[in-house]
Amino acid sequence: MKDELIALIPEFELITDEDLREKTLEAYIAAMNEGGWKPGDLMRLPFTLLIDPCPATMLEHIRGVTGLAVAIAKGLSAAYPKNPRMKVDYDLLVSGALLHDVGKLVEYEEKDGKFIASKSGKLLRHPNSGMGIAKSTGLPDEVLHAIVYHSHEGDGRRGTIESIIINHADFLNFEPLKLP
């Protein structure tokens, strides 16, 4: 499953810290196993159940958020090269961006050819379930923080530049898709 995920999401290779990359992949695999999904399902899973029909897949969204997060970080680093508040840890950024919606893999289920909220999805939001999955693989607190606070739960609570960037990259990969 690991090789299939890397083939679908080559951004895993942007994580230079081998241990962090492996734990990020382990979290994906754990979520896929718990949700009963295969890597290829990412090409048909909707990235949200809030837009019907959903105009983007989970795979497109994950890669879109990760790519935009990296681009934002590069832009900030170029604009503020001497400002320590703008120093981004790219490994933490990419891991958090890749995993920000990993909880959706247990939040969704397929029934009668339609994607719906699972029991877990009805009781827990994906930032919380995703953080739990990531914690179980030993990912660092900075990645857990980015996952749990990437959505509205994090309003006023984001404490790292990486989590701020991921929140905005996610928003920009969601809001325009709601336009008519």
Spatial CA neighbour of 101 closest among 14, 178, 35, 16: 35
**pLDDT value of residue 20:** 99
Q: What are 169's two structure tokens? A: 């990259």
For the ranges 8-17, 39-48, 105-114, 154-163, the lowest mean pLDDT is seen at 154-163
Q: Residue 32: how many CB atoms within 10 A of its CB? A: 20
Instruction: Tell me 139's DSSP state.
Output: -
pLDDT in tens, 72-93: 999 999 999 999 999 999 999 9
Q: What is the pLDDT of residues 25-71, one digit of tens each?
A: 999 999 999 999 999 999 999 999 999 899 999 999 999 999 999 99
Catalogue all structural domains in the chain, each as residue range(s) with its CATH number. Answer: 2-39+52-178 (1.10.3210)
Measure the CA–CA gap between 148 and 129, rounded to whole angstroms.
9
pLDDT at 114 over 70: yes
Calpha distance 133→77 (Å, rounded): 31
